[in-house]
Amino acid sequence: MARASKRAKTTATSTVTPDGAPSSSMSAQPLPSIPFQSGPNLERIPDEVLHEALSYLPTLRDHHVLFGYRLTPPVIPSTLLVRSSTLRALSQTSRLLRSRCLAMAWQQIELCGAEQNVSFYRAIGEATRTGTRVLKACPHLLPLVQTVSIVLTRYQSAEIIPAFAACLATLPNLTTIQVIHAHSQMTTAIKNGFQGKQFPSVRRISLPSSAHEIVKSCPNLEEVTCTEGDGSTIIGSLVKGKCQELRVLKDIDAPLKRLVKVVPNLRHIGVRMGANMTPLADFPFLDTIEFIDNFGSQLSAAPYTGQASEVLKQNKSQAEKTVLLTKWTGTWDYGEYKNDADKAFVTREAIKV
Protein backbone atom coordinates (compact mmCIF):
# COMPACT_ATOMS: atom_id res chain seq x y z
CA MET A 1 0.00 0.00 0.00
CA ALA A 2 2.87 2.37 0.84
CA ARG A 3 4.55 1.68 -2.53
CA ALA A 4 1.31 2.40 -4.43
CA SER A 5 0.83 5.66 -2.54
CA LYS A 6 4.39 6.69 -3.36
CA ARG A 7 3.93 5.89 -7.06
CA ALA A 8 0.69 7.88 -7.14
CA LYS A 9 2.40 10.88 -5.53
CA THR A 10 5.27 10.75 -7.95
CA THR A 11 2.98 10.48 -10.99
CA ALA A 12 0.85 13.39 -9.85
CA THR A 13 3.83 15.76 -9.53
CA SER A 14 5.75 14.78 -12.68
CA THR A 15 5.63 17.27 -15.59
CA VAL A 16 6.46 17.37 -19.28
CA THR A 17 8.71 19.97 -20.85
CA PRO A 18 7.47 22.04 -23.84
CA ASP A 19 9.38 19.82 -26.25
CA GLY A 20 7.67 16.68 -24.94
CA ALA A 21 10.47 15.26 -22.73
CA PRO A 22 9.84 14.27 -19.07
CA SER A 23 11.03 16.80 -16.51
CA SER A 24 13.24 15.74 -13.61
CA SER A 25 11.94 18.55 -11.43
CA MET A 26 9.19 17.55 -9.06
CA SER A 27 8.19 21.19 -8.38
CA ALA A 28 7.66 22.46 -11.97
CA GLN A 29 4.83 25.04 -12.36
CA PRO A 30 2.29 24.98 -15.24
CA LEU A 31 3.02 27.24 -18.23
CA PRO A 32 1.57 30.75 -17.91
CA SER A 33 -1.69 31.40 -19.77
CA ILE A 34 -1.31 33.87 -22.71
CA PRO A 35 -4.52 35.73 -23.53
CA PHE A 36 -5.61 35.67 -27.20
CA GLN A 37 -5.02 38.91 -29.06
CA SER A 38 -6.37 39.48 -32.56
CA GLY A 39 -3.93 40.99 -35.03
CA PRO A 40 -4.47 43.91 -37.42
CA ASN A 41 -7.36 43.46 -39.82
CA LEU A 42 -8.93 45.35 -42.70
CA GLU A 43 -11.64 46.88 -40.54
CA ARG A 44 -9.06 48.66 -38.39
CA ILE A 45 -7.32 50.39 -41.29
CA PRO A 46 -7.95 54.17 -41.33
CA ASP A 47 -10.15 55.39 -44.17
CA GLU A 48 -7.38 57.34 -45.88
CA VAL A 49 -5.12 54.27 -45.92
CA LEU A 50 -7.94 52.07 -47.24
CA HIS A 51 -8.65 54.56 -50.03
CA GLU A 52 -4.95 54.71 -50.91
CA ALA A 53 -4.71 50.91 -51.09
CA LEU A 54 -7.83 50.67 -53.26
CA SER A 55 -6.46 53.30 -55.64
CA TYR A 56 -3.83 50.79 -56.81
CA LEU A 57 -6.43 48.31 -58.02
CA PRO A 58 -7.02 48.32 -61.81
CA THR A 59 -9.94 50.52 -62.72
CA LEU A 60 -11.45 52.32 -65.70
CA ARG A 61 -9.80 55.67 -66.40
CA ASP A 62 -10.29 58.46 -68.93
CA HIS A 63 -7.72 57.15 -71.41
CA HIS A 64 -9.47 53.76 -71.48
CA VAL A 65 -12.69 55.55 -72.38
CA LEU A 66 -11.00 57.65 -75.06
CA PHE A 67 -9.24 54.72 -76.72
CA GLY A 68 -11.56 51.81 -75.94
CA TYR A 69 -13.13 52.03 -79.40
CA ARG A 70 -9.80 51.00 -80.96
CA LEU A 71 -10.00 47.60 -79.32
CA THR A 72 -11.11 44.64 -81.43
CA PRO A 73 -13.73 43.87 -80.26
CA PRO A 74 -14.29 47.35 -78.82
CA VAL A 75 -14.75 46.25 -75.23
CA ILE A 76 -12.79 46.96 -72.06
CA PRO A 77 -11.01 43.83 -70.72
CA SER A 78 -12.33 42.59 -67.39
CA THR A 79 -8.84 42.92 -65.88
CA LEU A 80 -9.41 46.68 -65.75
CA LEU A 81 -12.57 46.36 -63.69
CA VAL A 82 -11.01 44.80 -60.58
CA ARG A 83 -11.59 47.74 -58.24
CA SER A 84 -15.37 47.71 -58.52
CA SER A 85 -15.67 43.94 -58.05
CA THR A 86 -13.29 44.03 -55.07
CA LEU A 87 -15.23 46.82 -53.38
CA ARG A 88 -18.51 44.97 -53.84
CA ALA A 89 -17.00 41.83 -52.34
CA LEU A 90 -15.65 43.78 -49.35
CA SER A 91 -19.03 45.43 -48.79
CA GLN A 92 -20.53 41.99 -48.16
CA THR A 93 -18.04 40.78 -45.56
CA SER A 94 -19.16 42.78 -42.49
CA ARG A 95 -21.41 45.62 -41.41
CA LEU A 96 -18.48 47.96 -40.90
CA LEU A 97 -16.96 47.31 -44.33
CA ARG A 98 -20.40 47.62 -45.88
CA SER A 99 -20.73 51.09 -44.42
CA ARG A 100 -17.27 52.00 -45.76
CA CYS A 101 -17.26 50.29 -49.16
CA LEU A 102 -20.83 50.12 -50.47
CA ALA A 103 -20.97 53.73 -51.69
CA MET A 104 -17.55 53.42 -53.37
CA ALA A 105 -18.55 50.11 -54.94
CA TRP A 106 -21.59 51.60 -56.68
CA GLN A 107 -20.20 55.03 -57.40
CA GLN A 108 -19.32 53.84 -60.89
CA ILE A 109 -21.21 51.23 -62.91
CA GLU A 110 -19.22 49.61 -65.72
CA LEU A 111 -21.26 47.88 -68.43
CA CYS A 112 -18.35 47.51 -70.79
CA GLY A 113 -16.30 44.41 -69.88
CA ALA A 114 -16.53 40.87 -71.25
CA GLU A 115 -14.45 37.73 -71.58
CA GLN A 116 -12.53 37.38 -74.83
CA ASN A 117 -13.86 33.92 -75.64
CA VAL A 118 -17.54 34.87 -75.85
CA SER A 119 -19.58 36.98 -78.23
CA PHE A 120 -19.04 40.48 -76.91
CA TYR A 121 -22.31 41.73 -78.42
CA ARG A 122 -24.28 39.23 -76.37
CA ALA A 123 -22.08 39.53 -73.26
CA ILE A 124 -22.31 43.33 -73.11
CA GLY A 125 -26.00 43.35 -73.96
CA GLU A 126 -26.80 40.89 -71.19
CA ALA A 127 -24.55 42.79 -68.76
CA THR A 128 -26.52 45.95 -69.50
CA ARG A 129 -29.80 44.13 -69.03
CA THR A 130 -28.63 42.65 -65.72
CA GLY A 131 -27.31 45.97 -64.45
CA THR A 132 -30.59 47.76 -65.10
CA ARG A 133 -32.54 44.97 -63.40
CA VAL A 134 -30.30 45.05 -60.32
CA LEU A 135 -30.77 48.80 -59.90
CA LYS A 136 -34.52 48.50 -60.40
CA ALA A 137 -34.69 45.79 -57.72
CA CYS A 138 -32.44 47.69 -55.29
CA PRO A 139 -33.66 51.29 -55.05
CA HIS A 140 -31.31 51.98 -52.12
CA LEU A 141 -28.42 51.84 -54.61
CA LEU A 142 -29.82 54.49 -56.96
CA PRO A 143 -28.53 57.56 -55.05
CA LEU A 144 -25.01 56.07 -54.92
CA VAL A 145 -24.40 55.98 -58.67
CA GLN A 146 -22.47 58.94 -60.07
CA THR A 147 -20.79 57.54 -63.20
CA VAL A 148 -22.02 55.05 -65.79
CA SER A 149 -19.61 53.58 -68.36
CA ILE A 150 -21.09 51.52 -71.17
CA VAL A 151 -20.52 49.90 -74.55
CA LEU A 152 -23.71 50.13 -76.61
CA THR A 153 -24.24 47.17 -78.94
CA ARG A 154 -26.85 46.14 -81.48
CA TYR A 155 -27.74 43.05 -79.45
CA GLN A 156 -31.51 43.30 -78.81
CA SER A 157 -31.07 47.09 -78.89
CA ALA A 158 -34.79 47.79 -79.33
CA GLU A 159 -35.37 46.28 -75.87
CA ILE A 160 -32.15 46.93 -73.97
CA ILE A 161 -31.45 50.57 -74.87
CA PRO A 162 -34.88 51.94 -73.78
CA ALA A 163 -34.57 50.00 -70.49
CA PHE A 164 -31.08 51.39 -69.99
CA ALA A 165 -32.23 54.96 -70.71
CA ALA A 166 -35.14 54.55 -68.28
CA CYS A 167 -32.69 53.31 -65.65
CA LEU A 168 -30.46 56.38 -66.10
CA ALA A 169 -33.49 58.59 -65.50
CA THR A 170 -33.90 57.05 -62.01
CA LEU A 171 -30.37 57.96 -60.86
CA PRO A 172 -30.73 61.26 -58.96
CA ASN A 173 -26.99 61.88 -58.52
CA LEU A 174 -25.72 60.75 -61.92
CA THR A 175 -23.08 63.27 -63.07
CA THR A 176 -21.05 61.44 -65.74
CA ILE A 177 -21.89 59.22 -68.72
CA GLN A 178 -19.06 57.49 -70.60
CA VAL A 179 -20.03 55.77 -73.86
CA ILE A 180 -16.91 53.83 -74.81
CA HIS A 181 -18.33 52.51 -78.07
CA ALA A 182 -21.53 52.63 -80.07
CA HIS A 183 -21.91 51.05 -83.49
CA SER A 184 -22.20 53.59 -86.31
CA GLN A 185 -25.43 51.96 -87.53
CA MET A 186 -27.35 52.19 -84.27
CA THR A 187 -28.02 55.94 -84.24
CA THR A 188 -31.74 55.35 -84.79
CA ALA A 189 -31.92 52.79 -81.99
CA ILE A 190 -30.26 55.24 -79.60
CA LYS A 191 -32.56 58.05 -80.71
CA ASN A 192 -35.67 55.92 -80.12
CA GLY A 193 -34.41 54.60 -76.79
CA PHE A 194 -33.51 58.01 -75.32
CA GLN A 195 -36.32 60.05 -76.82
CA GLY A 196 -38.24 61.91 -74.14
CA LYS A 197 -35.73 61.06 -71.38
CA GLN A 198 -34.08 63.79 -69.34
CA PHE A 199 -30.99 63.56 -67.13
CA PRO A 200 -30.72 67.02 -65.54
CA SER A 201 -28.00 65.99 -63.07
CA VAL A 202 -25.49 64.96 -65.78
CA ARG A 203 -22.65 67.44 -66.13
CA ARG A 204 -20.02 65.48 -68.05
CA ILE A 205 -20.24 63.13 -71.02
CA SER A 206 -17.74 61.33 -73.26
CA LEU A 207 -19.15 59.66 -76.36
CA PRO A 208 -18.59 58.84 -80.04
CA SER A 209 -20.37 60.85 -82.71
CA SER A 210 -22.72 57.93 -83.39
CA ALA A 211 -24.20 58.27 -79.87
CA HIS A 212 -24.87 61.99 -80.18
CA GLU A 213 -28.62 61.61 -79.49
CA ILE A 214 -27.86 61.11 -75.78
CA VAL A 215 -26.61 64.70 -75.57
CA LYS A 216 -30.15 66.03 -76.15
CA SER A 217 -31.24 64.40 -72.89
CA CYS A 218 -28.60 66.26 -70.86
CA PRO A 219 -29.54 69.97 -70.90
CA ASN A 220 -27.15 70.93 -68.08
CA LEU A 221 -23.94 69.57 -69.58
CA GLU A 222 -20.78 71.43 -68.65
CA GLU A 223 -18.17 69.21 -70.36
CA VAL A 224 -18.38 67.15 -73.56
CA THR A 225 -15.63 65.00 -75.12
CA CYS A 226 -15.88 63.39 -78.55
CA THR A 227 -14.16 59.98 -78.53
CA GLU A 228 -14.75 58.95 -82.15
CA GLY A 229 -15.65 60.82 -85.34
CA ASP A 230 -15.33 64.54 -86.02
CA GLY A 231 -18.03 65.57 -83.55
CA SER A 232 -20.26 67.37 -86.05
CA THR A 233 -23.36 65.43 -84.96
CA ILE A 234 -22.50 66.13 -81.32
CA ILE A 235 -22.45 69.85 -82.06
CA GLY A 236 -25.86 69.51 -83.72
CA SER A 237 -27.27 67.78 -80.63
CA LEU A 238 -25.79 70.45 -78.33
CA VAL A 239 -27.63 73.07 -80.36
CA LYS A 240 -30.92 71.15 -80.45
CA GLY A 241 -30.67 70.29 -76.76
CA LYS A 242 -29.97 73.95 -75.90
CA CYS A 243 -27.06 72.99 -73.67
CA GLN A 244 -26.31 76.55 -72.57
CA GLU A 245 -24.27 75.52 -69.51
CA LEU A 246 -21.47 74.04 -71.64
CA ARG A 247 -18.05 75.29 -70.61
CA VAL A 248 -15.64 72.62 -71.91
CA LEU A 249 -15.71 70.98 -75.36
CA LYS A 250 -12.93 68.54 -76.33
CA ASP A 251 -11.59 66.65 -79.33
CA ILE A 252 -13.84 68.25 -81.92
CA ASP A 253 -12.77 68.41 -85.58
CA ALA A 254 -15.84 70.06 -87.07
CA PRO A 255 -17.08 73.65 -87.62
CA LEU A 256 -18.16 75.34 -84.40
CA LYS A 257 -20.11 78.26 -85.82
CA ARG A 258 -23.49 76.79 -84.83
CA LEU A 259 -22.46 76.78 -81.19
CA VAL A 260 -21.65 80.46 -80.84
CA LYS A 261 -25.21 81.60 -80.09
CA VAL A 262 -25.98 78.61 -77.85
CA VAL A 263 -22.85 78.65 -75.68
CA PRO A 264 -21.26 82.10 -75.94
CA ASN A 265 -19.60 81.52 -72.55
CA LEU A 266 -17.52 78.53 -73.67
CA ARG A 267 -14.27 78.62 -71.69
CA HIS A 268 -12.22 75.63 -72.86
CA ILE A 269 -12.03 74.19 -76.35
CA GLY A 270 -9.99 71.12 -77.28
CA VAL A 271 -9.27 70.73 -81.00
CA ARG A 272 -7.09 68.40 -83.03
CA MET A 273 -3.71 69.46 -84.33
CA GLY A 274 -4.10 71.36 -87.59
CA ALA A 275 -7.54 72.83 -86.81
CA ASN A 276 -8.50 76.27 -88.10
CA MET A 277 -8.17 78.87 -85.35
CA THR A 278 -10.25 81.62 -86.97
CA PRO A 279 -13.71 80.38 -85.77
CA LEU A 280 -12.49 80.35 -82.15
CA ALA A 281 -12.38 84.13 -82.18
CA ASP A 282 -16.21 84.07 -82.12
CA PHE A 283 -16.18 82.80 -78.53
CA PRO A 284 -15.44 85.94 -76.51
CA PHE A 285 -14.73 84.30 -73.14
CA LEU A 286 -12.35 81.48 -74.07
CA ASP A 287 -9.47 81.17 -71.64
CA THR A 288 -8.01 77.80 -72.76
CA ILE A 289 -7.33 76.36 -76.20
CA GLU A 290 -6.10 72.77 -76.07
CA PHE A 291 -4.48 70.94 -78.98
CA ILE A 292 -5.04 67.19 -78.71
CA ASP A 293 -2.70 64.84 -80.53
CA ASN A 294 -4.27 61.36 -80.38
CA PHE A 295 -2.64 59.85 -83.42
CA GLY A 296 1.00 60.86 -83.37
CA SER A 297 0.64 63.84 -85.72
CA GLN A 298 3.92 64.99 -87.29
CA LEU A 299 2.68 68.57 -87.61
CA SER A 300 4.74 71.27 -85.94
CA ALA A 301 2.82 72.76 -83.05
CA ALA A 302 4.47 76.20 -83.16
CA PRO A 303 2.30 77.83 -85.88
CA TYR A 304 -0.92 76.67 -84.21
CA THR A 305 0.04 77.64 -80.68
CA GLY A 306 0.99 81.07 -81.99
CA GLN A 307 -2.40 81.52 -83.68
CA ALA A 308 -4.19 80.27 -80.56
CA SER A 309 -2.31 82.75 -78.38
CA GLU A 310 -3.40 85.61 -80.61
CA VAL A 311 -7.03 84.49 -80.45
CA LEU A 312 -6.93 84.43 -76.64
CA LYS A 313 -5.17 87.78 -76.36
CA GLN A 314 -7.86 89.54 -78.34
CA ASN A 315 -10.98 88.22 -76.59
CA LYS A 316 -12.87 89.56 -73.57
CA SER A 317 -11.93 86.95 -70.99
CA GLN A 318 -10.33 88.34 -67.82
CA ALA A 319 -9.21 84.90 -66.62
CA GLU A 320 -5.70 83.52 -66.88
CA LYS A 321 -5.23 82.33 -70.46
CA THR A 322 -3.44 79.16 -71.51
CA VAL A 323 -2.61 77.16 -74.62
CA LEU A 324 -2.31 73.44 -73.85
CA LEU A 325 -0.53 70.75 -75.84
CA THR A 326 -1.87 67.30 -74.93
CA LYS A 327 -0.16 64.28 -76.41
CA TRP A 328 -1.08 60.65 -75.84
CA THR A 329 2.16 58.68 -75.76
CA GLY A 330 1.24 55.31 -74.25
CA THR A 331 0.52 52.24 -76.34
CA TRP A 332 -1.75 49.25 -76.01
CA ASP A 333 -1.20 45.83 -77.47
CA TYR A 334 -4.85 45.63 -78.47
CA GLY A 335 -4.71 42.01 -79.56
CA GLU A 336 -3.45 40.81 -76.19
CA TYR A 337 -5.07 43.52 -74.05
CA LYS A 338 -1.71 44.40 -72.54
CA ASN A 339 -2.09 47.80 -71.03
CA ASP A 340 0.66 50.18 -69.96
CA ALA A 341 -1.57 53.19 -70.39
CA ASP A 342 -1.31 54.24 -66.76
CA LYS A 343 2.43 54.90 -67.15
CA ALA A 344 2.97 58.40 -68.55
CA PHE A 345 0.21 57.83 -71.07
CA VAL A 346 -0.44 61.52 -71.53
CA THR A 347 1.90 64.49 -71.56
CA ARG A 348 0.79 68.09 -71.29
CA GLU A 349 2.62 71.30 -71.99
CA ALA A 350 1.09 74.59 -70.86
CA ILE A 351 1.90 77.88 -72.54
CA LYS A 352 0.79 80.98 -70.65
CA VAL A 353 -0.58 83.75 -72.86
List, for residues 185-218, the tens digit of each pLDDT value. Answer: 899 999 999 999 999 999 999 999 999 999 999 9
How many C-beta atoms surround the C-beta of residue 124 within 10 A?
27
Task: Provide the percentage of residues in the chain whose pLDDT is more than 70.
Answer: 75
Say which amino acid occupies 56.
Y
Which DSSP symbol is given to 258?
Answer: G
pLDDT of 122 reads 84
- What is the rounded distance in angstroms from the CA atom of residue 248 to the CA atom of residue 324? 13
Crossing angle between the packed helical segments 47-54 and 82-90, to the nearest 10 degrees: 140
Report pTM.
Answer: 0.79
DSSP, residue by residue, 93-160: T-HHHHHHHHHHHHSEEEE-EE-TTS-HHHHHHHHHHHHHHHHHH-GGGGGG--EEEEEE-STTHHHH
Average predicted confidence (pLDDT) for the chain? 81
77-91, 172-186, 202-216, 227-241: least confident range: 77-91
**pLDDT beyond 70 at 25:** no
Question: What domains can you pick out in the chain, each with its CATH number?
Answer: 108-266 (3.80.10), 269-353 (no CATH)
- What is the rounded distance in angstroms from the CA atom of residue 204 to the CA atom of residue 222? 6
Q: Residue 22 in 3-state DSSP?
A: strand
- What is the rounded distance in angstroms from the CA atom of residue 313 to the CA atom of residue 317? 9
